[in-house]
Amino acid sequence: MSIEQHNLEIFKNLTIWEKTPLLRRIYREFHEMIARHLANLPGYDVVELGSGIGNIKEVISHCLRTDVFPNPWLDRVENAYKLSFADESISDLILIDVFHHLRYPGTALEEFWRVLVPGGRVLIFDPYLGLLGLIVYGLFHPEPLGLFRRIEWSAPAGWSADDIDYYAAQSNAMRIFASRKYRQHLKLWRTVVVKKLTSISYVASGGYSRPQLYPDNWYGAMKMLDRLWSPFPAIFGTRLLVVLEKPSP
């Protein structure tokens, strides 16, 4: 999939969003959960990278919505590897289903560090591959899992941030933040939250790409299942919330 095709997907998602009340309810709760972990430092911007259809503003009204291509509902165009923000000018950077599209996560995190004020946070919401997540994302999602693909932490010499291409490896956030292997790479950051989430209510909703498997009025019961099975993320985990903080001196 090219960057241009990815933008076409966003317009398709917008149509689905507008006609699917259940999806809007689920994402509102995701956004509310993320909002509870914001640093929200006064005088500094809250920015979402890869905003897609831009629905986060329904919960975080002061959030600047950005993406790599312009769309009418976005506030500005931004490249995660080369942000236009000044040093130490951002309170929070939010990435929802974006981190697994970063081919060079270490290079992106260096740029995030540059623009964040001390005490500022990066909030990452991405797939988690428990057994259920493996099945759902492996069989029913078009993007590759990338479980055995080598993670290129830093961009090679001579690489330009202007030359970004389409990349996806749905397992990357889990491999980096939910294991010990990459801990050394994250030593400058304070890890505030690494939360493995059971979200059967979401995967059974069909998301943006599959049929809805339960009626809207079953949502309360599905959320109860989420709570019941949440102690077993190795089996039922499907989502990962990571919050990193740039420590104050």
Residue 198 backbone phi and psi in degrees, to 5:
-90, 120
Q: What is the pLDDT of residues 72-123, one digit of tens each?
A: 999 999 999 999 999 999 999 999 999 999 999 999 999 999 999 999 999 9
Which residues touch 87 (CB under 8 Å, ≥6 apart)?
A: 114, 115
Average pLDDT over residues 31-42: 98
Residue 153 backbone phi and psi in degrees, to 5:
-65, -45
Q: What is the pLDDT of residues 130-148, one digit of tens each?
A: 999 999 999 998 899 999 9
Between the alpha carbon of residue 58 and those of residues 35, 53, 68, 113, 123, the distances in Å are 11, 12, 21, 27, 18
Query: pLDDT at position 7, please?
Result: 74
Average pLDDT score, the chain: 95
Query: pLDDT at position 163, please?
Result: 86
pLDDT band (50, 70, 90) for residue 164: confident
Q: Would you say residue 175 has pLDDT above 90?
A: yes
Kindly report the number of other CB atoms within 10 A of residue 180's CB atom: 6
Query: pLDDT at position 50, please?
Result: 96
Going by C-alpha positions, the residue among 91, 107, 90 that lies closest to residue 99 is 107
pLDDT band (50, 70, 90) for residue 17: very high
Q: What is the pLDDT of residues 178-207, one digit of tens each?
A: 999 999 999 999 999 999 999 999 999 999
- Hey, which CATH number is domain 3-127+146-198+240-245, 3.40.50.970, 1.20.1560.10, 3.40.50.150, 3.10.180.10? 3.40.50.150
Query: pLDDT at position 2, please?
Result: 58
Query: pLDDT at position 3, please?
Result: 64
Query: pLDDT at position 101, please?
Result: 96
